[in-house]
Structure 1
Amino acid sequence: MSMRHAAGRRLIELMTGFWKTQAVYIATELGVIDEIAAAGRATAGALALETETDPDALGRLLLFLARLDVVTGDERTGYALTPVGELLRTDVRDSMRDHVRIYGSHFYPAWGALTHSLRTGGSAFSHVFGADLFPYLQEHPETSLTYERAMVAGTPFFAEVGRAFDFSTARRIVDVAGGHGALLHEILNDNPGPRAVLFDAPHVIEESRGHPIATHHADRCERVAGNFFEEVPRGGDVYLLSRILHCFDDEACRQILTNCRLAMGPDARLVIVERVLGKDAGSSLAEGYNMHMLVVLGGGRERDETQYRALLDKAGFTVADIRPLPLETHLVVATPKH
């Protein structure tokens, strides 16, 4: 293949990326994945009856999904799930179904309005849905639950956080904007000594009632509702900020970090989990999420090491360490300036 033909093929692959997004999303949303899981192996004809879809159209979708390594097989032998497809099942513990749902249903149309973000520097999500993401979620509880589950589904690296940072000697861990407490749950499971505070917006704390952090760790973890732009709970010796700062512009981040600093004692530590631009050569995840933060949140962004050091310095912190985690995330450990 000539260089020009190779370049042309690559361009076609780039321009048809949305085919893959919608194919995986619709197969998940219409129950095709769960029906295959229930049957073990099934033909398009059988699946069409269960999902009320057209057999020929569904057959084309399954053929495409086989090329994408979501399913394996053909119409003669039937289709089964691959390890990728298994992640889309509703009934598995590490399901990424909600991750696919929020990207296909809400983030996909927001990216369709990318021009708005590029013209204005503002949120395309807000332009499409009529409200910024977090106020929108507060007004749409079902979407909020999907979003929170999606954020957990996209974090198989949570178990690695405890290996990169020693929480065993902590007395009180404060997870700032910790969602439904999935990361804190992992940390408390692995460290029997510390007590903890899960701190988030009132509607998120209400949603967390049925999650493991409340059902398994009620005796060790206090769930506190509040606004981190106003204050955060005092008295912790470890403060967590997992994938929070990339949602906001520098001024908002400075306010969040300053409030953390005001709540911390001189020997406390701040543990940040974020993607850091420029740390993973050869991949576009961090750069892609940098764009995603613009499209979905407007003021959000990924930052490089220099920007994080400057941001933390202005809020009264010194960076003590930066360590790699899976999926191109990094653990940034900071200590208060004395």
Structure 2
Amino acid sequence: MTMEHSENFEDRHLAGRRLIELMTGFWKTQAIYIATELGLIDKIAATGRATGGELALETATDPDALNRLLLFLARLDVVVGDEQEGYALTPVGELLRTDIRDSMRDHVRIYGSHFYPAWGALPHALRTGRSAFSHVFGSELFPYLQQHPETSLTYERAMVAGTPFFAEVGRAFDFSAARRIVDVAGGHGALLHEILTRNPGPRAVLFDAPHVIEESAAHPIATHHADRCERVPGNFFEAVPKGGDVYLLSRILHCFDDEACRQILTNCRQAMSPDARLVIVERILGKDAGSSLAEGYNMHMLVVLGGGRERDENQYRTLLDKAGFRVADIHPLPLETHLVVAAPQ
């Protein structure tokens, strides 16, 4: 075999292995999801280290089958160890515990239980341009969440679990001088809670759909900041609360098509004074070469929401311009997110 043939063989071998790794990604999704659903992670955390046999007894699973799962989770860096010495959690596995503040368990749950089967219907989304989620579950995502309270709670907790960059928002934009912050579609108020905790001066409004505002009563924004934050139910396609000097839209615009985004932005503009600011948190296509998070979420928005999409900087500038805004600044945040500051024209 010549050197050239040897190099070609090695290249094909590496390419073939990479392709197998890519097309078996669903193995990882479901293995991690099932580990959380079985309570496997919490049971390991409770003892610090446990064997597969012990865990099989506690989870009512077949010992051999569970040991296979644990071996795979060890390869995925979720656990460390073996059957003889027992398994312990890695830093990745620690994130899946239910008893920690920054748990990502609900993030895994919504992806494994609802987003996973939606991606299985990707051909429907590609043929029609409509969401695969609605094809599988018979309803678009947000109406579905309104009709299924438990899933809605999981979804909102998942959205918080995927936001370790919230702490960086306050470093990228100075909220200390704000008098009244309006968080439009702010969910359970996790970002607003972070901002108010760091800035004792501003008062705030958490604005979202009625069922989400009702759910937020059990969260820190209500229990810790009841005297500073008004929780207001409503529909941002109709109007948003007036009187704020800072308006927040965190990962909202990527859920909707351009026309819906223009309506949301126009309603924000109509509620704002000329010296107010709009703070947008989104992933921006093309801003982080070499990684696929933004491009992946661009596909995810198609699969789960149909009309939703990630956008590049020019697309955001165009959307904002048509709604009466100009881009004042753009700051990078972790996990390929960006903070866009917009001012009324």
Q: Which TM-score band (shorter chain)?
A: over 0.9
Following superposition, the deviation at residue 93 of structure 1 comes to 0.6
- Which of 20, 24, 28 is residue 20 of structure 1 equivalent to? 28
Q: What TM-score do you get using the length of structure 1 for normalisation?
A: 0.99
Following superposition, the deviation at residue 173 of structure 1 comes to 0.1
Following superposition, the deviation at residue 39 of structure 1 comes to 1.1
Corresponding residue of 1:200: 208
Identity percentage of aligned residues: 88
Corresponding residue of 1:160: 168
**Residue 66 (structure 2) pairs with residue 33 (structure 1):** no
CA distance in 2, matches of 1:179, 1:15: 34
CA distance in 1, matches of 2:279, 2:162: 19
Q: What value does the CA root-mean-square deviation take over the aligned residues? A: 0.5
- Which of 295, 306, 319 is residue 303 of structure 2 equivalent to? 295
2:13 counterpart SS class: helix
**Residue 318 (structure 2) pairs with residue 310 (structure 1):** yes
- Which of 210, 218, 221 is residue 218 of structure 2 equivalent to? 210
Unaligned runs of 5+ in 2: 1-8
Corresponding residue of 2:290: 282
2:61 counterpart SS class: coil
Corresponding residue of 2:67: 59
Corresponding residue of 2:11: 3
Q: CA offsets per residue over residues 1-27 of structure 1, 9 Å max, x none?
A: 700000000000011000000000000
2:242 counterpart SS class: coil
Following superposition, the deviation at residue 237 of structure 1 comes to 0.1
CA distance in 1, matches of 2:147, 2:82: 43
**Residue 115 (structure 2) pairs with residue 115 (structure 1):** no
2:292 alignment partner AA: S
Q: What TM-score do you get using the length of structure 2 for normalisation?
A: 0.97
Corresponding residue of 2:5: none
Corresponding residue of 2:262: 254
Q: CA offsets per residue over residues 299-328 of structure 1, 9 Å max, x none?
A: 000000000000000000000001100000
**Residue 281 (structure 2) pairs with residue 240 (structure 1):** no
**Residue 190 (structure 2) pairs with residue 177 (structure 1):** no
1:308 counterpart SS class: helix
Corresponding residue of 1:79: 87
CA distance in 2, matches of 1:316, 1:52: 59
Q: How many residues align?
A: 337
Corresponding residue of 1:320: 328
Q: CA offsets per residue over residues 57-103 of structure 1, 9 Å max, x none?
A: 00000000000000000001000000000000011111000000000
Following superposition, the deviation at residue 164 of structure 1 comes to 0.3
Corresponding residue of 2:4: none
**Residue 279 (structure 2) pairs with residue 271 (structure 1):** yes
- Which of 116, 120, 126 is residue 134 of structure 2 equivalent to? 126
Could you list the runs of 4 or more consecutive aligned residues of structure 1 that deviate by over 4 angstroms after TM superposition?
Answer: none
Corresponding residue of 1:191: 199
1:181 alignment partner AA: G
- Which of 183, 205, 227 is residue 219 of structure 1 equivalent to? 227
CA distance in 2, matches of 1:114, 1:131: 16
Corresponding residue of 2:152: 144
CA distance in 1, matches of 2:20, 2:225: 50
Which one is further off, 1-10 or 218-227? Answer: 1-10
Corresponding residue of 1:95: 103
1:277 alignment partner AA: L
Corresponding residue of 1:331: 339
CA distance in 1, matches of 2:234, 2:33: 34
